[in-house]
Chains A and B, each alone.
Chain A
Amino acid sequence: MATTAPTTAVPPSPKARVAVWKFTSCDGCQLSLLDCEDELLAVTEQVEIAYFMEATSRQLPGPYDLSIVEGSISTPEQLELIQSVRAQSRFLLVIGACATAGGIQALRNAADINDYIRVVYATPEYISTLATSTAISDHVKVDFELRGCPINKMQLLEVINALLNRRRPLVADHAVCVECKLNGTVCLATTRGANCMGPVTQAGCGALCPKYHRPCFGCYGPKENPNVSSLANVWRSEHGASTAHVSRTFSSFNTAAPAFAQVARGNGTVNDDE
């Protein structure tokens, strides 16, 4: 039996084949994988990196067991590429605020794209782009979304780990507040009147900013069941925040996430008094 020849032309690899794809993004999230310095060898013992342009020029053809997708869909070419990635991938994991919500570049969604192009580029006619920047899940079926701007590398490892071990990833969808309380970080909203996005933002960062006395910026996007209009009302009525300030605070990495978009565009259920 030991000398039996392979019955298929290409012997199945014992390792899961992984591809890493970049769409419209800053590369920060896929860099998180390379940033797993202590764990990277253990990862590569378990998986085969088949396509990862940021790490290696070796490009192996699909299909892939796992595709990790970074970035949003913002050009006509990407509309086609994402369909091809989906077709070649057994499990599609999208990572970061760009891929899960459209990213900071989705600020264009509430404006006229041609205005931006005229302001930003010396030769606007060279630019071919879509009017919107959208999440991957707006275009193809996504198997798992990992939030963050950037993602937490430990969460990325957890998803890969869970996939290899055929278990559910431990990625909580509750508020950042839970992490503050577990960490023993004293609440910035109640002790300083800070406009902290923690109560409506999904955990995963380890409540990093509040540890350093900075209110949450909402990098991980809306938590499950967020009450954004109530938080905005507290900021305005208790902390004296202006509608413009509230709108600006939500107009960031996750501006196009539906729960944030309503307040970011100032047309949510917030009582406008300005």
Chain B
Amino acid sequence: MRTSILAAADLDELIQSLKAAGYQVIGPVRDDAAVVYDDINSATDLPRGWVDEQEKGHYRLLPAGDDRYFGYTVAANAWKRFLNPPRKRLWRVVRQDGKLQFIPESDSAPPLAFIGVRSCELHAIHIQDRVLIDGAHCDEGYRQRRRHLFTVAVNCTRAAATCFCTSMHTGPRVELQSDLVLTELLDEHGHRFLLETGTDAGHRITASLPLMPATDDDTALAESRINIAREQMLAGPRQFDSSGIHNLLFSNMESPAWDAVAERCLSCANCTLACPTCFCFAVEDTTDLTGDHAERWQRWDSCFNGAFSHVHGGSVRNSTRARYRQWMTHKLAGWVDQFGQSGCVGCGRCISWCPAGIDITEQLQAIAEGDAS
């Protein structure tokens, strides 16, 4: 691990270095009303000077009052969109002279570089690796994109009200391996980044950058800034002990809290589609009018959709209660049995992007209260 200082004015050189190395660079940009991850060409595309206000069913972008590039917390969308696209063709088949010719899909996309990956999001990517690469059925397209992925992680120096990575032990400090890790520093000594280089690829990309040595003061300042985010969460309403969730949920499958949440839940699927670890998809076959050409497509699906659990005769989970319970118990408990870790990283997206303002941490609390009584 090498630690150095990159002046904020030179951040663009990092982006240009990635582009020169052939990467498609993706990072935070300001959409009309939110920070979203999208293609970026230069540092001017970044949402400099904007922060997010997040609460239950609520997201607003506000002027930060300073020039920080990464003052916001997590974007509206998750990085999964780029590693596991919402819609992708799997193969085509052509019928000619009574014979079928199958044509596999080839992925010729350039390697991806993500700028601004938060600790919880790095955990989410690792969780999806377990599902999409390590399982019995490896998603080859995902594996390819993942293998060539370059990450520039960013330590959080501020937490949104919806953040609870301290409860899920996934942040705020970046601890999983990242090619580069930035901590944004802004004080009387100037606007700069503490840059940690964690891999050979990271060394190659930063070799040409005008880096300066980091002082002990810089390192201490970075830690104190990360601590601000940590303290905000520790003092917030979404700090809880997550160690007993698995047994709590599996021993409360008939809790009245499921009925209460089903009264509010819209089964609209927003939580699952915003979630950085939800990976479920549907597979659909299409034909042209002649029936001589067919294609198989994969698209994001959700356990909140009726068709998701449709088997012969109908949907297995017809009620909203059954769907919400399935989602939450899988995310927080079944996932542990299946993949060896929780499926929740505490990013808070399911809370902010729920149009009904349902809070998974409150639901957990409601079940725990029912359990105690």
Residues of A at the B interface (CB closer than 8 Å) are 39, 42-43, 45-46, 157, 160-162, 164-165, 167, 170, 172-175, 177-178, 181-182, 184, 186-192, 196, 198-200, 213, 223-227, 230-231, 233-234, 238
Contacts and interface: CB of A to CB of B under 8 A. Distances in A.
Interface stretch (B6-14, B57-65, B123-131, B239-247): B57-65
Interface string B193-229: 0000000000000000000000000000000000000
Interface residues of B, number: 50
Nearest to A190: B59
A231 B74 CA distance: 26
Contacts of B34: 186, 191
Given A175-B305, A178-B269, A196-B355, 16 more contacts: A161-B287, A164-B291, A174-B304, A182-B299, A184-B81, A186-B31, A186-B33, A187-B59, A187-B353, A189-B57, A191-B60, A192-B33, A198-B355, A224-B305, A227-B265, A231-B266
Contacts of A187: 59, 76, 270, 353, 355
A234 B33 contact: no
Nearest to B308: A174
Nearest to B299: A182
B284 interface: yes
B307 A199 contact: no
Nearest to A186: B34
Contacts of A184: 36, 38, 77, 81, 86
B264 interface: yes
B274 interface: yes
A42 B263 contact: no
Nearest to A213: B32
Interface in B46-94: 57-61, 76-77, 81, 86-87
A230 B263 CA distance: 7
A22 B126 CA distance: 55
Contacts of A224: 305-307
A186 B273 CA distance: 12
Q: Which 9 A-B pairs have the closest CB atoms?
A: A181-B273, A191-B33, A199-B268, A199-B266, A174-B305, A182-B86, A177-B268, A175-B268, A189-B355
Contacts of A42: 288-290
A162 B320 CA distance: 30
B119 interface: no
A246 to B, nearest CB: 15
B199 to A, nearest CB: 29
B58 A181 contact: no
A165 B267 CA distance: 32
Contacts of B57: 189-190, 234, 238
